[in-house]
């Protein structure tokens, strides 16, 4: 089974109908299971509200298995900080993926954000 952590930038692109979003959906559908922090839901819903996009994001969000860290992510934040300087939400997503990778070794990190993608590569995550 192939597993991937998905950053909010991917689902936001799909919701916005950005160029390449259909191809992105096809790529995401090839993974056996998708994971993300529940921050993704807040970010996707905020995009929909800001852009006044009617509709239900529930179907898209139903693809996601939520990652709920059971402890502070200080050690993951430090590890990410050794390879990159990221904004808070981007740092949170990469740290959550590192937390999850302790239980799931074969985990890709999927994002459309260049800096975040580079940090994930530096930390050993395969990308899309």
Report mean pLDDT in 10-residue bins for the chain, 128 residues: 91 93 92 95 92 80 94 97 96 97 91 96 86
Domains of the chain as residue ranges with CATH:
3-122 (3.40.50.1010)
Using alpha carbons, select from 40, 8, 38, 43 the residue that is nearest to residue 24: 8
pLDDT, tens only, 108-118: 999 999 999 99
| Residue 15 to residue 106: CA distance in whole angstroms | 27
Using the structure block, give the residue that is written with the tokens 């994001």: 57
Using alpha carbons, select from 38, 67, 85 the residue that is nearest to residue 11: 38
pLDDT over 70, % of the chain:
97
């Amino acid at each position: 089974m192939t597993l991937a952590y998905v950053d909010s930038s991917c689902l936001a692109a799909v919701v916005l109908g950005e160029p390449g979003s259909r191809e992105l959906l096809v790529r995401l559908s090839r993974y056996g299971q998708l994971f993300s922090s529940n921050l993704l839901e807040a970010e996707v819903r905020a995009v929909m509200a800001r852009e006044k996009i009617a509709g239900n994001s529930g179907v898209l969000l139903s693809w996601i298995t939520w990652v709920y860290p059971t402890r502070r992510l200080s050690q993951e934040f430090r590890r990410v900080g050794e390879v990159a300087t990221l904004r808070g939400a981007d740092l949170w997503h990469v740290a959550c993926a590192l937390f999850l990778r302790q239980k799931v070794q074969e985990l890709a990190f999927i994002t459309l954000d260049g800096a975040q993608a580079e940090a994930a590569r530096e930390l050993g995550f395969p990308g899309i």
